[in-house]
């Protein structure tokens, strides 16, 4: 196994964190997290492969964008609260500026037929991409009738009936977790 590089001390370390997460954030076409492995494990050697996988699984479990959670976890580990904030700033500040710049262009030129057409095409493709993400994460649950039941209920509640998310989660998550627990107990 390759040696893990120690983070630099003090302000240098904070600057490193900021730029590492800025780079990850800006590379994040189709999911920033895919680029995080390259930047943090392969290039900077701040984490081992195993550590990366474990941290990622925690970040996917917690609420919030994975990349934000990842920045908080790794930033904290290296430099405490200041590190977490430096990494978070790297994720947010510059990309948000770019987004707002694009938003301003959109306001000025959004009514032009070409811009309208381009965005219309991309959003149609984005809808298809979202559906494929759903199918992918549903794959492992194919043969689980309970998963199908709770997944369908969530789709009906949120997608078709447009209930507030709070209610959908409050009503569906406890029984779904209960069933998962029951299956786990029975399996033993």
Partner 1 sequence: MNQGSILLQLAVQFVLLSLLSFGGVNVILPDAHRFIVDVHHWVSDQEFADFFAIAQAAPGPNFLMFGLMGWKIAGALGAIVATLAIGVPAATVAFIVGGLWHRFRNAAWRRVVQMGLAPVTIGLVFSSGLVLGTAADHDWITFAITAATAVITLGSNVNPLWLFLVAGTLGAFGLT
* Residues between 112 and 131 with contacts to partner 1, criterion CB under 8 A: 113-114, 116-131
Least separation in angstroms between residue 7's CB and partner 1 is: 16
At a CB cut-off of 8 Å and minimum separation 6, what does 154 contact?
168, 172
Phi-psi region of 80 (alpha: psi -120 to 50; beta: other; left: phi over 0): left
76 binds partner 1 (CB under 8 A): yes
Q: Of 15, 65, 108, 109, which lies in the binding site for partner 1, with binding defined by CB under 8 A?
A: 65
CB of 130 to partner 1, least distance (A): 4
Among 12, 38, 50, 159, which residue sits at the site for partner 1 (rule: CB under 8 A)? 159
Please tell me whether residue 39 binds partner 1 under the rule CB under 8 A: no
Using CB under 8 A as the binding rule, the residues of this chain from 43 to 62 that contact partner 1 are 54-55, 58-62
**Dist CA 114 CA 120 (whole Å):** 10
Residue 11 structure tokens: 């302000």
Question: Residues 126 to 155: which contact partner 1 by CB under 8 A?
Answer: 126-138, 141, 144, 146-155
Q: Residues 80 to 99: which contact partner 1 by CB under 8 A? A: 81, 84, 88, 91-92, 95-96, 98-99
Distance CA 34, CA 42 (A): 12
């Amino acid at each position: 196994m390759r040696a893990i590089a120690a983070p630099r001390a003090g302000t240098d370390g904070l600057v490193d964190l900021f730029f590492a997460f800025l780079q990850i954030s800006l590379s994040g076409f189709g999911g920033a997290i895919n680029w995080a492995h390259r930047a943090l494990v392969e290039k900077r050697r701040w984490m081992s492969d195993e550590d990366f996988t474990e941290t990622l699984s925690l970040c996917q479990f917690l609420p919030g964008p994975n990349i934000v959670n990842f920045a908080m976890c790794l930033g904290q580990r290296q430099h405490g609260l200041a590190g977490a904030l430096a990494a978070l700033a790297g994720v947010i500040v510059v990309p948000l500026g770019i987004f707002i710049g694009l938003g301003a262009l959109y306001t000025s030129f959004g009514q032009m037929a070409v811009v309208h057409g381009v965005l219309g095409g991309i959003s149609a493709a984005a809808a298809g991409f979202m559906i494929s993400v759903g199918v992918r994460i549903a794959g492992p649950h194919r043969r689980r009738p309970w998963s199908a039941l709770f997944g369908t209920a969530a789709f009906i509640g949120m997608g078709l009936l447009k209930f507030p998310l709070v209610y959908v989660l409050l009503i569906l998550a406890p029984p779904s977790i209960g069933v998962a627990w029951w299956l786990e107990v029975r399996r033993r």
